[in-house]
């Protein structure tokens, strides 16, 4: 199963200080229930769950890497700001601080669970657009505020969260491996033994980050450098610009008793690493490309993780073979002429007789997906495709009919596959072909 990220790997980070505040917990609406389920959908390995926030429908990114709930966009109910604190937050990928409103008394409803008095940070900076970077309509991020109140079973295979009340949890987890984690600013961190390409072995402290769709990130420093078998890559999005790093593989990484062979790793340069909150306490990040390979029980109260492999454990994690970094701009509505069908002798055909009623005018919604970056020395860099070109078709299929996952699968095909691409440049449709090749595999053949 291949997983290319539509706009390389997502790591949209707002770095807030660790503010301790008192707020109500999430509670079961039916307190007699032992457990409830929340269905979710995945986009680029990321977990998206719907909710109601103050009577408005929102999609939340479920992110263990955040300690405060955040909403991006304008505030429709201005009364929320009557008692709001105006603050500034640091952000990866931006020299200027991000302005936000800290609000209280927010109502969040996930269906079977809800809370009346949640603290929410509203970030109205127009530079920050999650939907643009994810390719789907996502307005917020939630993590610690939700995880702290229950035991969660996270199962990527059936895309469901099962939520247990602590005092009614009686599952026997003897078949699961277990690991104690520690909190750094209310975010779970674990120790992972890693073998690098030079065969050196080290124990690294990783943030367990369900808000990253990547595998492993490691922060470079004086004692840790990217391996020789690596290449320059765009590895994630900050607020305004792409985060650059070097892509490679580890020899092995061990999660509990389970050993992963040659997982992907991105090395983050020291300058970018300094922007990560509490980076002095951790060496890197584990994202959902690794987490999705396990079935998890997550217990924040007791700081415990329970896990065992699922059917994704041995998945092939082939990296992007096109070199295209795409970005979702939004949608446009266009007036389109549709030929009118008429009946002639019981046979339906297009109207060719009456010139006055030859077409019916309808409104059509088109996705706007453009080329944001082209990875150096990639297959896409060898053909006439330019940054800013709008993607129209892949292998003859309109992007309007393709999901993010469909696009991912086409662009992460087998080595040597030819992908036909149609792009729009200055009102001119251009046709191109890309022969897919893996830069990651090539780095280990040299």
If you write DSSP's letter for every residue of 253-295 in order, what string do you get? EEETTEEEES-EEEEEPHHHHTTSTTGGG-SEEE-HHHHTTEE
CATH architecture of 177-309: Beta Barrel (2.40)
Antiparallel, parallel or unpaired: β 390-394 and 418-425: antiparallel
Q: Return d(Cα 364, Cα 369) in angstroms, integer.
A: 16
| Integer Rg of the chain from CA | 24
Higher pLDDT, 243 or 159: 159
Highest mean pLDDT among 35-44, 132-141, 349-358, 420-429: 420-429
Size of the chain, expressed as the number of residues it contains? 446
Stronger pLDDT, 150 or 445, i.e. the higher one: 150
Of 119-128, 203-212, 348-357, the poorest mean pLDDT is in 348-357
More confident residue, 45 or 288: 288
Mean pLDDT of the chain: 82
CB 341 within 8 A of CB 350: yes
**Lowest-pLDDT range of 208-222, 324-338, 364-378:** 324-338
| Rounded Cα gap, residues 127 and 67, in angstroms | 22
More confident residue, 28 or 275: 28
Q: Where are the domains of the chain?
A: 14-168, 177-309, 324-443
The fold of the 14-168 domain, in CATH, is Cathepsin D, subunit A; domain 1 (2.40.70)
What integer pLDDT is reported at residue 236 of this predicted model?
Answer: 75
pLDDT score at 9: 39
Fold for 324-443, please state it. Answer: Pdz3 Domain (2.30.42)
Confidence of residue 335 (pLDDT cuts 50, 70, 90): low
pLDDT given at position 1: 34
Among 130-144, 262-276, 429-443, the range with the most confident prediction by mean pLDDT is 429-443
Helix (H, G, I), strand (E, B) or coil at 196: coil
**Spatial CB neighbours of 251, under 8 Å, sequence gap ≥ 6:** 195, 196, 197, 199, 261, 262
> What percent of the chain is modeled with pLDDT above 90?
44
> For residue 259, with 0-12 CB atoms within 10 Å meaning exposed, 13-18 middle and 19 or more buried, which class applies?
exposed
SS3 305: strand
Dihedral pair phi/psi, residue 373, rounded to 5°: -150, 160
Partners of 178 in the β-ladder: 306
**Same fold: 14-168 with 177-309:** yes
Q: Which of 169, 176, 174, 115 is nearest to 146 (CA)?
A: 115
Element (H, E) at 37: strand 35-39
pLDDT at 354: 52
The alpha helices in 79-139, defined as continuous H runs, are 130-134
Whole-number Å distance between alpha carbons of 446 and 431: 32
Question: Which DSSP helix (H) or strand (E) runs through 58?
Answer: strand 56-62
Average pLDDT in the 354-373 region?
Answer: 68
Nearest partner of 207 among 59, 64, 418, judged by Cα: 64
- Compute φ and ψ for 444, nearest 5 degrees: -100, 0
> H helices of 311-436, where?
404-411
Q: Among 217-221, 405-409, 414-418, whose mean pLDDT is lowest?
A: 405-409
Least confident among 247-251, 272-276, 374-378: 272-276
**pLDDT tens per residue, range 192-206:** 999 999 999 999 999
Q: Is 356 a residue whose pLDDT tops 70?
A: no
In this prediction, residue 15 carries a pLDDT of 46
The per-residue pLDDT for 3 is 35
Check whether 97 has a pLDDT greater than 90. Answer: no
Q: Closest Cα to residue 290, out of 210, 180, 193?
A: 210
- Of 16 and 33, more confident: 33
Residue 45 pLDDT more than 60? yes
Neighbours of 274 (CB within 10 A): 11
Q: What percent of the chain has pLDDT over 70?
A: 76
Name the H helices within 353-445. 404-411, 439-443
Integer Cα distance of 70 and 15 in angstroms = 11
Q: What is the reported pLDDT for 78?
A: 58
pLDDT value at residue 85: 76
Predicted confidence at residue 364, as pLDDT, reads: 61
């Amino acid at each position: 199963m291949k997983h290319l990220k539509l706009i390389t790997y997502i790591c949209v980070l707002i770095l807030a200080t660790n503010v301790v505040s008192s707020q109500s917990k999430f509670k079961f609406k039916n307190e007699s229930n032992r457990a409830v389920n929340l269905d979710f959908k995945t986009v680029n390995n990321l977990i998206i769950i719907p909710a109601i926030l103050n009577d408005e429908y929102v999609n939340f990114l479920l992110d263990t890497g955040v300690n405060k709930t955040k909403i991006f966009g304008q505030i429709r109910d201005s009364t929320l700001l009557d008692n709001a604190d105006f603050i500034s937050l640091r952000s990866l990928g931006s020299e200027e601080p991000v302005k936000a409103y800290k609000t209280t008394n927010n109502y969040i409803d996930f269906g079977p669970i809800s809370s009346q008095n949640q603290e929410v940070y509203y970030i109205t900076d127009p530079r920050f657009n999650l939907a643009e970077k994810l390719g789907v309509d996502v307005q917020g991020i939630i993590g610690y505020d939700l995880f702290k109140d229950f035991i969660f079973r996270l199962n990527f295979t059936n895309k469901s969260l099962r939520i247990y009340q602590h005092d009614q949890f009686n599952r026997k987890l003897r078949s699961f491996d277990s690991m104690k984690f520690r909190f750094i600013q209310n975010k779970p961190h674990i120790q992972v033994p890693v073998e690098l390409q030079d065969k050196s072995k080290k124990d690294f402290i990783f943030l367990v980050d369900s808000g990253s769709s990547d595998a492993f990130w490691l922060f470079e420093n004086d004692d840790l450098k990217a391996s020789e078998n690596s290449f320059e890559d765009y590895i994630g999005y900050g607020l305004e610009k792409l985060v650059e790093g070097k892509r490679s593989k580890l020899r092995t990484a061990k999660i509990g008793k389970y050993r992963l062979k040659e997982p992907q790793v991105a090395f983050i340069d020291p300058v970018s690493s300094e922007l990560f909150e509490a980076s002095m306490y951790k060496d890197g990040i584990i994202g959902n490309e690794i987490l999705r390979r396990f079935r998890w029980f997550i217990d924040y109260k007791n700081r415990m993780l329970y896990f065992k492999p699922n059917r994704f454990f041995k998945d092939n994690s082939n990296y992007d073979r096109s070199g295209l970094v795409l970005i979702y701009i939004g949608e446009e509505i266009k007036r389109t002429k549709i030929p009118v069908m008429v009946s002639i002798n019981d046979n339906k055909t297009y109207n060719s007789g009456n010139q006055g009623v030859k077409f019916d005018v309808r409104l059509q919604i088109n996705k706007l997906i453009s080329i944001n970056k082209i990875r150096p020395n990639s297959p896409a860099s060898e053909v006439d495709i330019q940054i800013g070109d709008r993607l129209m078709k892949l292998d003859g299929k309109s992007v309007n009919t393709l999901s993010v996952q469909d696009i991912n699968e086409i662009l992460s095909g087998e080595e040597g596959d030819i992908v036909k691409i149609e792009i729009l440049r200055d009102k001119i449709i251009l046709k191109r072909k890309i022969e897919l090749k893996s830069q990651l595999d090539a780095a280990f053949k040299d």
